Amino acid sequence: METNSGNKRCARKVQLLVTSALLLLQNFLIIPQIFAKEISSVHIVYMGDKLYHNTETTKKYHQNMLTSLLGSKEAAKNSLLYSYKHGFSGFAARMSKSQAQDIAKFPEVVSVIPNGIHKLHTTRSWDFIGVHHPSSKTVFTESNLGEGTIVGVIDTGIWPESASFNDEAMGKIPSKWKGVCQVGEKFNSTNCNKKIIGARWFLKGINDHTKNLILGNNDTSEYLSARDAIGHGTHTASTAAGYFVENANYKGLASGLARGGAPLAHLAIYKACWDVPIGHCTDADILKAFDMAIHDGVDVITVSLGITIPLFSYVDQRDTIAIGSFHATSKGITVVCSAGNSGPISQTVTNTAPWLITVAATTIDRAFPTAITLGNNLTLWGQSIDNGKHNLRFAGLTYSERIARDPSDDLAKDCQSGSLNETMAAGKIVLCFSVSDQQDIVSAAVTVKEAGGVGLIYAQHQEDGLNECGILPCIKVDYEAGTQLLTYIRRARFPTARISFPKTVIGKWISPRVASFSSRGPSTMSPTVLKPDIAAPGVDILAAFPPKGTKKSSGFTFLSGTSMSCPHVAGIAALIKSKHPNWSPAAIRSALVTTASQSGTDGSLISEEGSTNKEADPFDIGGGHVDPNKAMNAGLIYNITTEDYIQFLCSMGHDTASIRKVTKTTTSCNKQKNQALINLNLPSISIPNLKKDTTVMRTVTNVGNINVVYKAIVKSPYGVKVSVEPQILRFNSDTKVLTFNVSFISTQKLHGDYRFGSLTWTDGKHFVRTPIAVRTIQFES
């Protein structure tokens, strides 16, 4: 009896053990499947230039590759996001890491990389740089204005109802246009017109990154269409090619005639950036935007976004802007990019590929001074764009540390959240000092408002660009004014102050100045390519903006960043293209760089805003501040072919096989590869490692008077002897292209930093200036 009972208990134990083992085995089998699913993500398979002219053939080729990889047509269909088949060949698809490694071994594949994230680089400006367009009433009598050109905008979409995008006086849609007006949420075919001639949107990449955050979230403010939820794309599009809008303003400030740089150019919108928490734009979506822009027939592409340092190689798929723009440039499309907002630190410039036009940001001569009247009748000045309801009577004035909730910490100094004593702050204007990068004027205003304060004066180091606080009047002052205010607070028994409304003042400030946030050179990826190329207005730029659900919106707002300077140059590029339709992207860049200005409104050299106020150098502004009128009549240009760019890539260490995969050409790398680094025919010269001497070759093409003589004027960098041979260039009907050599000899005995100079060719009318940057090397490890 006991034996039988023991056997049964033993049998039950065995059964339980077997069951447990099966469950464990099942879990072990399921876990890898779940894990594989979790790590399956979007990868971009880049195959270089397009394989077939027939786009359907190219797409089928991509599908067959995926079928071979994944084992079935259905799996391939479900995996494929985009097929890149117009400007270049490749596709974006979901796959695991091991599958990505497998497909990278396919002979036709150049590279396979995970889908990465890019960030946005987030009127009066046109008058300031000399584009004096007529009003809308006289536009019919004026020529050019970008007429007939198409500007592609890769950004956050567009708000089509904005007055900047009406198509009054617009010409016919160019016959070469092959784009579409893609419908979607609150965006239909009627939202396109002769101004906005096309709109597309790409979200498969970002949607995979956010795990369907956009498609599956009803709380998002985004639109599943080309409609702009952020405002960035609307702002940049109107800056580049917005039509005339009279009495444009932001809450009464900066009132005047608004327009883009090329008001008669057409706009093609490519929404690749989205309002999501983790970022804005993915590689997959950006590449598809480039692919379709090339297909559609745009003339200029403006791209106000980028990656941060460290930079990737120009043939590395992770720099999708470099890859996409290479193919666009090879098709004759001028691509303009923002330099980045990581200034004033050196070596932070992004979008540094030599075929790109990279734009830095500067101030204009408009300001919004705001008076602070103290109880002792002293008036100090700051700047503000808060033009809402102000209590103009005197109120108590206090310093944030005096009303700290916890005097033992420093959180109150810059008014960090919850740091102020509500009882002591109530009804007062609060002075805060910026002491860290973790706080800004808007966040400080929230702290003051929550504590019961009625106004904010925010003292900080020089930082360009104004932000509206909205919830209460806030004024930005420098540390000097802030210290004067603090001195008054400490001395007065009952300190008081009154904040006035801001005013719009034009022409009273020395400008331009290089914006404090504008990223600086030299390029960390290719220091022989001088970047940025050019500078343009990018501080407190008034342009079109979505109304954001308020009836009181003027439809315009101020934004600052190289995102704003970039479309300025894109608009000018469209003007040049309209006047010179046969000019290459390199010719347009050359005209912009060699005619740029180095002087401010007071006649002195342009200075830069940063840790120190010094004269701006080529790593701040490239050739200088853009001068559209002179760029139209450049005199001489430096041209570059796709073959030249390929040899440049060879000189960077890429072998013939890898470059052929990217370009799908039969081009071979020359034996003297290193010469292509400094001899790429750029309108600038950068020599990062001058040991003893070197010679640089350049070639210019005459685009001015047929019979003309140019003479060289050299301004040598300190410690370097520069000579030009020949010193005179004679052009005639038979001689339109001439080559010259520039020799550099170091006279330095010490290891040095970069020094700057210039070479200018002049016929007495034109001054074709090439910026020069040279660093002498006397020490090697």
- Residue 261 CA to residue 577 CA, distance in Å, equals 13
Residue 114 vs residues 74, 201, 672, 712: alpha-carbon distances, Å: 22, 21, 35, 49
Pairing state between β 474-477 and 455-459: parallel
Query: How far is residue 463's CA from residue 101's CA, in Å, rounded to a whole number?
Result: 46
Between CA 251 and CA 554 the distance in angstroms is 7
Active site residue 563: yes
49 flagged as catalytic: no
Rounded to 10 degrees, what is the CA torsion of 527, 530, 531, 532?
170
Examine the residue annotation and report whether 390 is marked as an active-site residue of this protein. no
The residues that bridge with 739 in the sheet, in sequence order, are 699
DSSP summary character for residue 227? B
List the structure tokens of 250: 């932001």
Q: Is 587 in a helix, a strand, or coil? A: helix
Cis before 585 (ω within 30):
no
- Structure token digits, residue 18: 């077997």
Phi first, then psi, for residue 636 (nearest 5°) are -125, 150
Other Cβ atoms less than 10 A from the Cβ of 615: the count is 13
Evaluated on CA atoms 585, 589, 594, 596, the torsion sign reads positive
Q: How many CB atoms lie within 10 A of CB 9?
A: 10
3-state DSSP helix/strand/coil % of the chain, to nearest 5: 30, 25, 45
Q: Which of 86, 232, 235, 327 is catalytic?
A: 232
Going by C-beta distance under 8 Å and a sequence separation of 6 or more, which residues neighbour residue 57? none
* Structure tokens, 226: 């080309």
What CA–CA distance (Å, rounded) separates 193 from 176?
16
Question: What does the DSSP assignment read for 368-423?
Answer: -EEEEEETTS-EEEEE----S----S-EEEEEGGGGBSSTTSSTTTTT-TT-B-HH
Cα distances from 37 to residues 30, 74, 207, 679, in angstroms, run: 11, 17, 16, 50
Q: Look up residue 532 and give its two tokens.
A: 């940025």
Q: How many CB atoms lie within 10 A of CB 189?
A: 11
Residue 51 to residue 28: CA distance in whole angstroms = 44
What are the φ and ψ backbone dihedral angles of 197, each rounded to 5 degrees?
Answer: -90, -10
Query: What does the alpha-carbon distance between residue 622 and residue 82 come to, in Å, rounded to a whole number?
Result: 37
Residue 5 β-bridge partners = none
Catalytic residue, chosen from 563, 607, 684, 686, is: 563
Q: How many CB atoms lie within 10 A of CB 5?
A: 9
Considering only CA atoms, which of 385, 387, 410, 386 is closest in space to residue 400? 410
Helix axes 320-330, 642-651, angle to 10 degrees: 140
Q: Which candidate in 111, 121, 155, 338 is catalytic?
A: 155
CB 223 within 8 A of CB 186: yes
| Residues assigned a catalytic role | 155, 232, 563
